[in-house]
Amino acid sequence: MSQHHRLRPAAIASAAAVVVLALGLSGAAHAATPASAAGSAARVGDDPDQPDNPLYDAPEGFRAESGREAVSLSWSTLSAATAYEVYRAEAEGTGPDEVGPYALLATVSTGAYVDRDADPDVEYAYKVRALDGAGHVSPYTEPQRGTRDTVAPFAPRDLTRVREDERGVTLTWRSGDSDAVKYVVYRAESPNAHRTKIGTTTSLTFRDTKGEAGLTYSYEVKGVDAVGNESGASNTVAGTKTVTSTTAPKAPTVSSATLVGKRLTLSWWQSPHVPVSSYTVYRSKASPVDVTDPNNRVATTTKTEYTATVTEDGSERDYHYAVVATSKHSVASPASGSVKPTYKEPQPPRATEFHDVVPGAGSVRLAWSAVPYGSDEAPVTGYRVYRSTEPGITKENAEFRHEVTSGTEYVDRDLTGGTKYYYAVASLDEDGRESALSPEVSATPSG
């Protein structure tokens, strides 16, 4: 509707009378103009048809949006308005007049209001009118309905797996006669595992193309209504993306990468669902490692670990490593993440201890436990036996030191009968590092 003043016939007639009266009294036209006469005659604030009321029309674009936590109202503001009154009534039917009495809900200065006090799951009718500083009001907007909707849709029914192939798993279901406007698909790696959201659709079908080939997943679907309420879950179905001769293995996951002195150790995990025949290790000083460059290839192995002895200069600490799996049909996986091994200073081997000490005629037989070593430790290659005739034996005060034995037994001969001897043993690794001494033992050979 036009924003110009609309003069009604009664107002025009009154203005003409004033002109005639003025002419009759003085003979000169000194009467008030029609506009000023209308302005002085109309000051009733609740009548939007008053000639000087700038609020001829109701606010436009009035909307009521239902939500789970509130009903959100919005409308276009009017340049002449300084405030807006929001009214609410309970909706008692579907017709525009089937509402309870309206009550003033709030007065606001902007074109929006959020009704957080609406009772849940009760439909309300809302309307708005504008006010200005002079007390004028606009007509009401057309009523709009809204609900603080907390009721979830019915769960989808009859979830069915309709196809399994190398492209993925295709599912379909029935709506369950609910008010759902979209559906959320969930997936788990086993029936009792945590379910992860994998997609949303507005149709009654969904294809999962991103699942791992060969792994059987459990699927379920939930409906979501227009305000975001999510239904309970549908029934559960299982589905598997098919493994074919063209299926690539999943990329390996490097779980450990260490460089201890000059000993490099890598280990990784590989998904078992696509059979793997071998792994290729790559390295470069740039990350990520370019596995398409044959110069970066280091080794190929059938194991899920790789060990190597590298040079002990500092440049070896600058390399990054990546692993590629190859299927039995010669299809390569994507590369693992590129990792830079953690450097550790090499440590001496672990100490051992005696488990048997047997004195004899001029001799003592000693036996000790072999020392284990990890994949990132230098192998233990020998043991050194220390002897003294005084307790408190150390490497420095020992009277005798047997050079090296690769076994875990030693017979000390040509001893003096009746003399008490004290023994300790140390382990040695292939790099020449020696462990601490074992706990001390003693024995007295016979004469």
- pLDDT, residue 98, reads 83
pLDDT at 50: 61
* Two structure tokens written together for 253: 């996951």
CATH of the structural domain 63-147, one choice from 2.60.40.10, 3.20.20.70, 3.40.309.10, 3.30.2310.20? 2.60.40.10
Q: Which CATH superfamily is domain 157-240 in?
A: Immunoglobulins (2.60.40.10)
How is residue 93 written in tokens?
Answer: 């039917």
Q: Which pLDDT score, from 0 to 100, does residue 227 have? A: 92
Q: What is the per-residue pLDDT across 243-267, written as a single tens digit (0 to 9) for each? A: 999 999 999 999 999 999 889 999 9
Candidates 37, 10, 2; CA nearest to 22 is 37
CATH topology for 354-443 is Immunoglobulin-like (2.60.40)
CATH topology of domain 253-344: Immunoglobulin-like (2.60.40)
Strands (DSSP E) contained in 68-156 are 71-74, 83-90, 103-108, 112-115, 123-131, 144-147
pLDDT value at position 321?
A: 98
CA distance 444 to 447: 10
**Do 63-147 and 253-344 come out as alike in CATH topology?**
yes
* pLDDT of 313: 77
Torsion angle (degrees, nearest 10) of CA 156, 160, 162, 168: 80
Say which residue the tokens 């009772």 belong to: 119
Q: Per-residue pLDDT tens for 287-324?
A: 999 999 999 999 999 999 999 989 877 788 999 999 99
The per-residue pLDDT for 49 is: 60
Q: What is the pLDDT of residue 431?
A: 87
**Mode of pairing for the β-strands spanning 342-344 and 253-260:** parallel
Cα–Cα distances (Å) from 15 to 20, 30, 45, 52, 350, in that order, read 9, 12, 21, 15, 115
Q: Delimit the domains of the chain by residue range.
A: 9-41, 63-147, 157-240, 253-344, 354-443
Secondary structure letter of residue 331 according to DSSP: P
- Which residues lie below 8 Å from residue 75, measured CB to CB, with a gap of 6+? 59, 60, 61, 62, 63, 84, 111, 112, 128, 141
- Specify the pLDDT at position 365: 97
pLDDT at 311: 86
The stretches in the chain having pLDDT less than 70 are 1-51
